[in-house]
Structure 1
């Protein structure tokens, strides 16, 4: 699937936020951000970048009397039901249940399956840390590993937080009113020198151009 025209990209973000706000998710979701091309006002938007802040599931708030997590795990061959993802969500949406290589429920993959179509040009970042905090964390890690493809583009806008949708953010996205710097300039603001910022931006752009369809990255900080 090719990219979105700008209006369709913002419509898709509105649909996604509506789903998060009104449907039971595999884990509690606190924030939804858009970043990258759509935040920059580009048209078309080649890839839609979305960041979701989730809670680590410390205690499943499913109705334990109504759902047997062990039975669901046995039926679908996925561990961690009621521990990594909500048991009642897994019971209601087994078609969205996804596991990692170890056979354990993967919250970021479950969220992607619930929120996105298989062939959409969307990159989904899922983390328990807030967007700004993870920008800093990922920058630190990328510099240590000298792997700038691990960077999180800091040019983002919060669309929904703690149950409240930002109509103003959506208006600015739709009208292309957000004034954001180039990626290299944004990275310089975070402490990189000019040469490193240019290199980092170039490598991240190159990585993005190689991606196709839905891509998902999950972090726990």
Structure 2
């Protein structure tokens, strides 16, 4: 799959939100946002960008870590991802390069297929807070590809789906400035905003299939 027709993209997001709302997740999810092409009303949607705000477990079931270390060779189950979820969905259990259970990768495995043109951002901070955190980090390191597109729409928060946000999304009623303009509104100078916007666009253009990025703020 290379892109989504707009209607299919919104339907896919609705399915994803329904999954979050009705099924156990590897970590508690507080919010689901979309940003980028689908929020802008584009058709087709080349990549579907989804942002998930998660809570951290803080070792809630750490006593079960040894069980999964022996059965799956993965550290930290019950500490960073829910042990009951892992027991029910071992096919979605994923580890990082250090062999520890990776919440963002587990969420991606549960929510999206490998061949879907979907990017999943996972963070413990809200979308707006992480937009600013990532912008500050990108400016400090001159790594503009790490910028999070601030043009987002919250579709689900604290257990409640926003039917009005979905309606506006389906009817392309959200109005956003160009990415460079949105970055200027966050404090970048015009020239730097253009450079940053180009870097973000290039980063997205090079992505293929499902991708995921996790942050802890």
Q: TM-score of the superposition, structure 2-length normalised?
A: 0.98
Change (3 A) 1:61 1:176: farther
**Tell me, what secondary structure is at the counterpart of 2:154?**
strand
Gaps of 5+ in 1: none
Gaps of 5+ in 2: none
- Select the residue among 188, 191, 206 that pairs with 2:202: 206
Aligned-partner Cα distance in 2 for 1:71–1:156: 40
Q: Which residue of 1 aligns with 2:171?
A: 175
- Select the residue among 113, 116, 134 that pairs with 1:117: 113
**Tell me, what secondary structure is at the counterpart of 1:16?**
helix
Deviations 1:55-112 (A, max 9, x none): 11125279x8xxx442222100000010000000010111000000000000000000
Q: Which residue of 2 aligns with 1:7?
A: 7
Aligned-partner Cα distance in 1 for 2:40–2:77: 39
**Tell me, what secondary structure is at the counterpart of 2:49?**
strand
Q: Which residue of 1 aligns with 2:16?
A: 16
Aligned-partner Cα distance in 1 for 2:185–2:198: 17
- Select the residue among 78, 101, 106 that pairs with 2:102: 106
Count of matched residue positions in the alignment of Structure 1 and Structure 2 = 217
1:148 aligns to 2:141 (yes or no)? no
Q: 4+ residue runs of structure 1 moved beyond 6 angstroms?
A: none
Root-mean-square deviation (CA, aligned residues, Å) is 1.2
Asked if the contact 2:49–2:120 (Cα under 8 Å) also holds between the matched residues in 1, the reply is yes
Change (3 A) 1:25 1:56: same
Deviations 1:92-143 (A, max 9, x none): 1110000000000000000000000110000000000000000000000000
Aligned-partner Cα distance in 2 for 1:104–1:69: 10
